[in-house]
Structure 1
Amino acid sequence: MFPKNAWYVACTPDEIAGKPLGRRICNEAIVFFRGPEGRVAALEDFCPHRGAPLSLGRVCEGKLVCGYHGLEMGCDGKTVAMPGQRVRGFPAIRSYPVVERYGFIWVWPGDAALADPATIHHLPWAEDPAWAHGGGLYHIACDYRLMVDNLMDLTHETYVHANSIGQKEIDEAPVATRVEGDHVITSRFMNGIMAPPFWQMALRGNGLPDDQPVDRWQICHFTPPSHVMIEVGVALAGRGGYDADPSVKASSIVVDFITPETETSIWYFWGMARNFQAHDQALTDKIREGQGKIFAEDLQMLEQQQKNLLAWPDRPLLKLNIDAGGVQSRKVIDRLLAAERGAVAVEMTP
């Protein structure tokens, strides 16, 4: 259902500030906490004593203390102490490769021997002070691939987000999709249109008029296992569009990390990175608020869509031209899943 030999965003640093966090990722129950010197650790959320969730415990001097009987766990999954009991010989629990980078905590739920931090999705904007980022987290009861479909076909904006980023010109503009290895790109350009409400606000935030025609673009990038980065923006019409000088446009990257929880639920880390007025915290907060409302509109649609698909699992669905980005992204996912199954089959062969 989902590749496990991959890096997923597990949480944000503030979620493990001073206490452990339990989170199911790719059907793996994992507890995250900060060990010695504040370094993040990830263990199986299962106390080897009586099976209690370790996430219900606390962190003391870099060790994870079970909230049931006080058993203390090290970052490597080995028991290091327990009140009134020698712990030598206690079986270790599973530890997971975990890395803190770009303002996120990343975890590898698959074969630890294959985890290479160098393959974590590169986010150049996260290390550049000329960019600002604001975002949030939603828990959504849907298959993670439904969210990938949603983000790789933005035609739905006209209908789901009619009062914020939607406009009829989205339906009318042609869509182009191409595949470069495991990277799927879908793009749409709209010239000489009026900006919808969200982008009017962004234009004002960059000191630009909001009542003049603009050129608008949407370039969706899917990369496995389930990341979608979307280049979006508007520029004053006739000034170069996507390639316009920063002084006449408002452009951003919509950040979407889709982390499967189960086959029918996800952790959706959403955000927007922008390279205009980066030091304006009030603008960051305003954009985050507006974007949060936009994604909340997707939430209800996706959850109800999932319920329909579970109720009629064998009912065929149409594939239209606008679905090309999602279809190609699913092909990439299917290829990775097949490769993982093949590797497991080879390991099990006597």
Structure 2
Amino acid sequence: MTWITNRWYVAAWDSEVDRTPIARTICGEPVMLFRKLDRSVVAMRDACPHRLLPLSMGFKEGDSVRCRYHGLLIGSDGCATQMPIKHEQVPKGLCATLYPVIEKHRFVWIWIGEAAKADPALIPDFWPCSAPGWTFDGGYNHIACDYRLVIDNLMDLSHETWVHQGSIGQHEILEAPIETVVDGDEVRVRRWMPGIEPPPFWRDALRSAGPVDRWQVCHFIEPSSVLIDVGVSPVEAGDTIDDHDSGVRGFVVDAMTPESATTTHYFWGMARNFDIDDAGFTARFKAQQGQVFDEDVEVLEAQQRSIDANPDMKLRGYSIDQGSVRARQIIKRLVEAERAIG
């Protein structure tokens, strides 16, 4: 197993979960998600405790789900309330597993591990997604690759120069020095690009011409999230890598949830502090960002296929890979520590 079990993972966007159950495999476990009449979310093992047919194939009856195979009725607490044969007594303890679930920052978070350890304080702090003066939206990709490859990609933005040549990439990214900082179980990779011409997206967002200072700060938060502080400001503003709120600023929000050893649920978006009331711009930008991430998906899935086809070869790490290497070291250490506890 390559992931930490006792952690919160994003299971879905808030908009994905409604009254009709949806099925999603999280960290190797089949899960069914739906909303009760009071709009709270239920996360339940997607297997009928009778003959194991996926409950997501069943019929909703109020806040309960009736199995499509033999008609066992399962309540929102996971326990059977009615047997297939009339007047047959429900066996005590005939229940489907429930998972702790919390809605925060527009996401539905699920705890796959030991329920007693599910501490809401451990949910990653995606503060720009909920802060006043910011707006946030995004999308979802299912990627046929190890979730750690997506983290590698996001912690090394030098790939933008080549993978995203037509949108956010520019050669100045390769020329700027990078600083990698490890703080406990978090990693930051910082890049400051002073006095450069902005790429098309940031030029249009700033609504002015001329040289800018550009920054990228990639922040890995265990178990599997990356927030990327990005933006540009006019050179005359005098911003720095530590203080940069004079221009236009955004946070690329990335939550990678393992589905299996080689497949990943990728939830992405951007929180921004400019044009926050322009719904049309939000929709257009979401579409543009989706196109950028589609380019990443193509590369990452090809990389996974190549890894599978070349089992005698290993990934190598160079100076540009410091952030991803450090993030992987943290994941490995936490996985091993959890495994040692049993």
TM-score interval, normalised by the smaller of the two chains: over 0.9
AA at the equivalent of 1:28: E
How much has 1:12 moved relative to structure 2? 1.5
DSSP-derived class of the 1:238 partner: helix
How much has 1:244 moved relative to structure 2? 4.5
- Runs (4+) of structure 1 moved beyond 6 Å? none
For the structure 1 residues 36 and 286, does the alpha-carbon distance in structure 2 shift closer, same or farther, using more than 3 Å as the test?
closer
Taking the aligned partners of 1:316 and 1:15, their CA distance within structure 2 comes to 37
AA at the equivalent of 1:198: F
Taking the aligned partners of 1:151 and 1:30, their CA distance within structure 2 comes to 27
How much has 1:36 moved relative to structure 2? 5.1
Alignment-derived partner of residue 112 in structure 2: 109
- Whether the aligned pair in 1 keeps the contact of 2:33 and 2:41 (CA below 8 Å) is yes
**1:301 corresponds to 2:299:** yes
**1:336 corresponds to 2:334:** yes
Taking the aligned partners of 2:57 and 2:268, their CA distance within structure 1 comes to 27
Alignment-derived partner of residue 50 in structure 2: 49
- Mapping 1:166-177, distance limit 5 Å: 166-177=169-180
Deviations 1:185-232 (Å, cap 9, x if unpaired)? Answer: 0010101111112222322xxxx21x3111100000001100000000
Taking the aligned partners of 1:240 and 1:72, their CA distance within structure 2 comes to 64
How much has 1:245 moved relative to structure 2? 4.8
Taking the aligned partners of 1:155 and 1:279, their CA distance within structure 2 comes to 32
- Whether the aligned pair in 2 keeps the contact of 1:215 and 1:238 (CA below 8 Å) is no
Taking the aligned partners of 1:284 and 1:292, their CA distance within structure 2 comes to 12
Taking the aligned partners of 1:294 and 1:58, their CA distance within structure 2 comes to 38
Taking the aligned partners of 2:336 and 2:191, their CA distance within structure 1 comes to 31
DSSP-derived class of the 1:43 partner: strand
- Whether the aligned pair in 1 keeps the contact of 2:19 and 2:36 (CA below 8 Å) is no
- Whether the aligned pair in 1 keeps the contact of 2:74 and 2:95 (CA below 8 Å) is no
Alignment-derived partner of residue 287 in structure 1: 285
Length, aligned pairs only: 337
- Mapping 1:226-245, distance limit 5 Å: 226-242=224-240, 243-245=243-245
For the structure 1 residues 61 and 290, does the alpha-carbon distance in structure 2 shift closer, same or farther, using more than 3 Å as the test?
same
How much has 1:325 moved relative to structure 2? 0.1
Deviates more, 1:281-290 or 1:1-10: 281-290
Taking the aligned partners of 1:81 and 1:334, their CA distance within structure 2 comes to 45
Taking the aligned partners of 2:244 and 2:149, their CA distance within structure 1 comes to 33
Taking the aligned partners of 2:315 and 2:173, their CA distance within structure 1 comes to 23
How much has 1:145 moved relative to structure 2? 0.4
- Whether the aligned pair in 2 keeps the contact of 1:135 and 1:270 (CA below 8 Å) is yes
**1:27 corresponds to 2:28:** yes
**1:144 corresponds to 2:147:** yes
DSSP-derived class of the 1:14 partner: helix
- Whether the aligned pair in 1 keeps the contact of 2:128 and 2:251 (CA below 8 Å) is no
Deviations 1:145-165 (Å, cap 9, x if unpaired)? Answer: 000000000000000000000
- Whether the aligned pair in 1 keeps the contact of 2:190 and 2:218 (CA below 8 Å) is yes
Deviations 1:292-314 (Å, cap 9, x if unpaired)? Answer: 11000000100000011111122
Deviations 1:95-135 (Å, cap 9, x if unpaired)? Answer: 11111122111001111121111211122223323111110
How much has 1:38 moved relative to structure 2? 2.2
DSSP-derived class of the 2:69 partner: coil
Taking the aligned partners of 1:234 and 1:71, their CA distance within structure 2 comes to 58
Alignment-derived partner of residue 9 in structure 1: 10
Alignment-derived partner of residue 267 in structure 1: 265
Percent identity between matched residues is 47
Deviations 1:255-303 (Å, cap 9, x if unpaired)? Answer: 0000000000000000000011211111111211111110000001000
Taking the aligned partners of 1:313 and 1:241, their CA distance within structure 2 comes to 47
| CA RMSD after TM alignment | 1.5
Deviates more, 1:86-95 or 1:333-342: 86-95
DSSP-derived class of the 1:218 partner: strand
How much has 1:239 moved relative to structure 2? 1.4
DSSP-derived class of the 2:237 partner: coil
- Whether the aligned pair in 2 keeps the contact of 1:36 and 1:63 (CA below 8 Å) is no
